[in-house]
Structure 1
């Protein structure tokens, strides 16, 4: 009888030891639910029952119990296999599992069935020692060579802009503020007007007294006769009066010393403002682009894409052209456009850039002159073209006589008969 009792106690102790192991927690829980508790061993309440009771008291929601079972199963799977086995009894492992605190990541809010993701704080490394990425700098392929040839063709300085431009139209002996005002007036008159006409008008204005006070004191008819025949002379008379009034009221008879102030004046555009800053104030604020600079820049391919107006050309040139050339480029290209790169029928055969210019020998179509109008002869280039010995340069320009000379029908028939007979 004693041996039977000892064996029963040994088997019960062994079963308690085995059931206390983390590997047999699920089996032991199943045995407890079936009521097969061994005698003499009082197991503690399981983790599932504790979690279920606590959460049932806190919030009696139907899905809380299901969450508790899932949490119990997950915690039991995350227990390390190398956890030390307790030899003190079957109660200690269960108490350790129940007492072990949950980490912050294990906590599941009861208000939402789905766990919210924690916001991550993004931090960037310091850029010390890292070179910035350089953007591609575009420039025309042969612009330096072309600019050198233009300088060579402009070396004589005998274009109309060299003799009658805005730099030559002011009185050198006048006070500084009067000289600056005369520079601005000459630029206003030069719009849509040849330099010869502008120079003649400025000579008459200077003889009359080209100051802010004299312009305001002169009536419109007299002022119109002084500046005639500049282009749009009636509008320019109005602009001269308005601009002079603004200068006298706001600037004391002087002109503004900024592009922003200049373009606010009536009849003054960006081209005039940049040229006035360069000539009157000796400051390079931008490129003065007129019709010559606009035309030649597009012909030479100095722009990423063709532009439609001088203002677009100015912005495109300033993107790549070095700033030290901004004050020179207007003077070079204007004289070059007056002598060689003409608006109609450019003299490509004598141009030094004819082999590198993408528009060379692509003459613009000749325009028929209006009845009764007389076109002034185009200025010719004074530089000598570099040709081989014995070769001749043929001028392919259409003369004005060939366009306006009437051809009699009888003479035309005689020419046809002579061609047929030969």
Structure 2
């Protein structure tokens, strides 16, 4: 039972500082202004201890639930903020415990991600812009029409006509390659005549190796650079006889390794000998006409650049035909010097029309081009003017010295 203390004893007790946490001081103010100070009894301490233990158990149970909730959320998706911020706000922990919180995206170093697109998602890669000449189909149709007669030299004496159709397959392919090597900077008529003599001599790799240089030179003369081509034929025949048993390689890479064989010859040999389209055979005719017609994105300087530029836009099914078309067209109409633009069907769409062969001036009010008859009359008039000038000079020299001795002389007629 608690006992009341006197005023003096309470004063002494208040002056003493008690270090135990089981005693709590409490002051009460009365009407008389006297402060009655009492001490907490033992029963009150026991009740407080029990209440505090209950609070600690409640807090620990809450912490356990919070930790379980954090584990479940971290397994599902990481959070940038700690989940216990709102649950434990305002609660006091008797003992601090370490809580693992996932790092935010700002505290990590960002990694570069490679973005890939699946074909099933409907995302198509961006293709480069396809360029092609504006009127090339119309111009190609006109060239086909002008080449419909098949009467150009390439039609009768090209590489497709120079081999022996009755020879074995490997011998035919070898003759195609030889005719292409001889055709460099040489007209088809000269190449065809040389191939006739070589076939009569025996145009195989084995026979050419057994033939001396002088005899071989006489057989291929007068092709362009015939001395150099004799050397190339002997070297190429030795390689083919040793590595391919007299046949030719079946790839562009293998053909260009041979002496005297370039990309144009390799692509044509693949087309004619092996019946495989590996590229466009571009010679001087194809190179010249492609630049004149504006079939290239920008002008090219050599046939190899022209080949690459044409293959960028020309459909592959036309690669084999384009060489035959343009070579014959260049031999008959689009000449290197003074092309026949007046008879070309592409004179209205070709950007180079009448630039290499200037169009003659016509009379005022006439929009038609001069005909062959009018050009012949012009030449005749020029000759007559020159004859009149000669006649005037002759009369001046034959004039008399004095008027008294002047006699009439018949005019001389100058025969044309």
TM-score range relative to shorter protein: 0.5 to 0.7
Residue of structure 1 in register with 2:109 after alignment: 118
Query: In structure 1, what is the Cα distance between the partners aligned to 2:320 and 2:36?
Result: 111
CA contact (8 A) 1:151 1:332 kept: yes
Residue of structure 2 in register with 1:414 after alignment: 390
Residue of structure 2 in register with 1:196 after alignment: 189
- Shift in CA distance, 164/395, structure 1 to aligned 2, threshold 3 Å: farther
Please list, as runs of the form range in 1=range in 2, the aligned pairs for 1:16-415 lying within 5 A after superposition: 85=90, 93=92, 95=94, 98-99=96-97, 101=99, 103-105=101-103, 117-120=108-111, 122=113, 124=115, 126-127=117-118, 128-363=121-356, 393-394=371-372, 414=390
CA offsets 1:19-48 (integer angstroms, 9 cap, x no match): xxxxxxxxxxxxxxxxxxxxxxxxxxxxxx
3-state SS of 1:5 partner: strand
2:5 pairs with 1:5: no
Query: In structure 2, what is the Cα distance between the partners aligned to 1:291 and 1:116?
Result: 67
Aligned length: 303
Query: In structure 2, what is the Cα distance between the partners aligned to 1:315 and 1:339?
Result: 26
Query: In structure 1, what is the Cα distance between the partners aligned to 2:374 and 2:251?
Result: 46
Query: In structure 1, what is the Cα distance between the partners aligned to 2:36 and 2:198?
Result: 132
- Shift in CA distance, 233/416, structure 1 to aligned 2, threshold 3 Å: farther
Query: In structure 2, what is the Cα distance between the partners aligned to 1:318 and 1:396?
Result: 44
Alpha-carbon shift at residue 85 of structure 1 (Å): 4.0
Query: In structure 1, what is the Cα distance between the partners aligned to 2:114 and 2:165?
Result: 65
TM-score scaled by structure 2? 0.65
Alpha-carbon shift at residue 105 of structure 1 (Å): 3.5
3-state SS of 2:301 partner: coil
Query: In structure 2, what is the Cα distance between the partners aligned to 1:138 and 1:177?
Result: 41
Residue of structure 2 in register with 1:32 after alignment: none
TM-score scaled by structure 1? 0.65
Residue of structure 2 in register with 1:384 after alignment: none
3-state SS of 1:6 partner: strand
Name which one, 1 or 2, has greater alpha-carbon Rg.
2
> RMSD over aligned Cα, in angstroms?
3.5
3-state SS of 1:179 partner: helix
Query: In structure 2, what is the Cα distance between the partners aligned to 1:165 and 1:300?
Result: 24
CA offsets 1:68-95 (integer angstroms, 9 cap, x no match): xxxxxxx9xx965x86545xxxxxx264
